Amino acid sequence: MFFHRNRSRLLFCFVLLFIAVGIFLFQKYQQAKEVAAEKKVLTKIIKSYAPIQISVSVINLSTGQSFSVGSSQKFIAASTSKIILAACLLHEVEIGKKSLSTQLGSYSVGFQLQQMVQESNNDSWHAITNYVGLQTLSYCAQSIGVHYFVSNNSITTQDEALFLQKLYTGALLDSQDTQLLLSYMQNTNENTLIPSAVSPDVTIYHKYGWLDSYVHDAAILIYHNTPVILVIYTKGSTTTANKQIQLFKPITKTVLQYVY
């Protein structure tokens, strides 16, 4: 009797385990299927904007799935790298090597930081770069596993997306400094790129970049507690600026459609 009872329990547990594994595998299959469909649509959009070079990287922080489409090359990061510098500065403050109250010219480091992220102020960027130092900035990027090339300010969308993932999940800074930087990224002076395709009920933290033929945006999107990283980099010519701006909307809408 004892043997048969235990055998029945063991069989029941095995059946439950089999069902749970089956559900897990089915969910993974469905997610992979949706990602494949999403990549197909995004690739079609990218091709429709040729000869503009486009790279898109996506990380769904709820499912852990990530993918990239388009160019896999490094791009000049333009102002999107300012948030890497901002995180490096705040880390240096946390370990006591720098201070937000130090004066840089006529303003404090803290004010220059806000100006650099919110207003994309280049004077503040240069002042903070000199304050932190290129060697320290390079070390900061390397220490978190992000391949950011300080010498020519270049990075891939994959590495920019990885940086945003680490920032949002609290892997870079303490909670107070993480929220400070995100608050600056929530109130920027340029909202014609990724934000143009986002409805008011989606929270967005982003940093755009615009330099010569490069037009970029790197964002964290949150809807119904589902955070998604979306990075779009583009390189065109002197005559393609309007098309580069336009392409952010269909790409962003496609990502949102499949995620949410």
In this prediction the pTM is 0.88
pLDDT at 246 over 60: yes
Tell me whether strands 75-76 and 154-155 are parallel, antiparallel or unpaired.
antiparallel
Q: What average pLDDT does the segment 206-214 reach?
A: 97
| pLDDT for position 10 | 63
Tell me, yes or no, whether 18 lies in a domain.
no
Q: What is the CA radius of gyration of the chain?
A: 22
Give whole-number Cα distances, 252 to 43, 62, 199, in Å: 13, 18, 11
Tell me, yes or no, whether 90 lies in a domain.
yes
User: Which one is predicted more confidently, 22 or 145?
Assistant: 145
Q: What average pLDDT does the segment 216-245 reach?
A: 96
Q: What average pLDDT does the segment 25-29 reach?
A: 53
User: Which one is predicted more confidently, 20 or 181?
Assistant: 181
Give the mean pLDDT of the chain.
91
Tell me, yes or no, whether 68 lies in a domain.
yes
Integer Cα distance of 162 and 49 in angstroms: 26
Tell me, yes or no, whether 7 lies in a domain.
no
pLDDT at 29 over 90: no
Integer Cα distance of 64 and 51 in angstroms: 32
pLDDT at 62 over 60: yes
Tell me, yes or no, whether 108 lies in a domain.
yes
pLDDT, tens digit (0-9, with 9 covering 90-100), for 190-209: 999 999 999 999 999 999 99
CATH of the domain at 114: 3.40.710.10
pLDDT band at residue 31 under the 50/70/90 scheme:
low
Beta strands (DSSP E) in the chain are: 53-60, 66-70, 75-76, 103-104, 107-108, 154-155, 203-211, 214-223, 226-235
pLDDT at 13 over 80: no
Tell me, yes or no, whether 20 lies in a domain.
no
Tell me, yes or no, whether 17 lies in a domain.
no
pLDDT band at residue 82 under the 50/70/90 scheme:
very high
| pLDDT for position 2 | 46
Q: How many folded domains does the chain comprise? A: 1
Tell me, yes or no, whether 14 lies in a domain.
no
> Can you give the residue range of the structural domain that contains 132?
38-259
pLDDT at 1 over 60: no
Q: What average pLDDT does the segment 19-38 reach?
A: 61
